[in-house]
Amino acid sequence: MAQNDVVARMNNVFREVFDNPEIEIFDEMTASDVVGWDSFSHINLITSLEIEFDIEFTQQEAFGFKTVGELKSAIEAKVNS
């Protein structure tokens, strides 16, 4: 799957989860950059990404991401595996 495609689909998920149509994700983005990205909404974000890409994260993976870039890399690895 093309990298741009992953980013676009991730961006849509971010907008839906955080109910913010203005979100534009970037690799260095962290939870502190997004209004409402707390530990509760993080679970919803991960599950929504799992549904969108038909993948699954382990609990350790789900809570190990520090940046959107790390999340993107993990999704790409799972989608392409």
Partner 1 sequence: MTTQFFPHNNIGYLCTDWQVERGLGAKTALKLIDKDENLFEFSFAQLTDLSNQAANLLSSLGYQKGDRIMLLLSKTVEIYAFFLGALKLGLVSSILFTSIGEDSIVERIKDTDTRAIISTSRMNFRLVKVLQKLDESFRVLLVDEDQSDGQFVGIREQFKRASAEFVTPETDPEQYSHFHFTSGSTGKPKAVQHCHASIIDHLRSFDEVMQVNSDELFWCTADPGWVTGTTYGITAPWALGLTQVQLDANYDPALWMRVIERYKVQILYTAPTVFRMMAQQADTFYQQYDLSSLKRVYTVGEPLDPNLVLWGRRIFHCEIYDTWFQTETGSIMVANYPGLEVRPGSMGKPLSYLEAAILESKDNPLPNNTQGLLCIRKPWNSMFREYVGNPVVYQNKFLGDFYSSGDIAYRDEDGYYWYIGRSDDVINTAGHLVSPFEIESAVMEVPHVLDCAVVGLPDDLLYEKVVAFVVHDEQSPSLRKLDMGIKLYVAKKVASLASPKEVVFTDKIPKTKSGKVMRRVLKKQYLGQDVGDLSTMEE
**Binding interface with partner 1 (CB under 8 A):** 16-17, 19-22, 30-33, 35-41, 43-44, 47-48, 51
How many CB atoms within 10 Å of residue 9? 16
Q: Minimum distance between the CB of residue 57 and partner 1, rounded to whole angstroms?
A: 14
Residue 30 Cβ vs partner 1, minimum distance, rounded to whole Å = 7
Residue 37 to residues 2, 4, 14, 44, 60: CA-CA distances in angstroms? Answer: 26, 23, 10, 10, 18
Question: 6: which residues sit within 8 A by CB, 6+ positions away?
Answer: 53, 72, 75, 76, 79
Closest distance of CB 68 from partner 1, Å: 14
Of 5 and 19, the one with the shorter C-beta distance to partner 1 is 19
Phi, psi of 39, deg, nearest 5? -65, -30
- Measured from the CB atom, is 3 or 43 closer to partner 1? 43
Residue 47 or 73: which CB sits closer to partner 1? 47
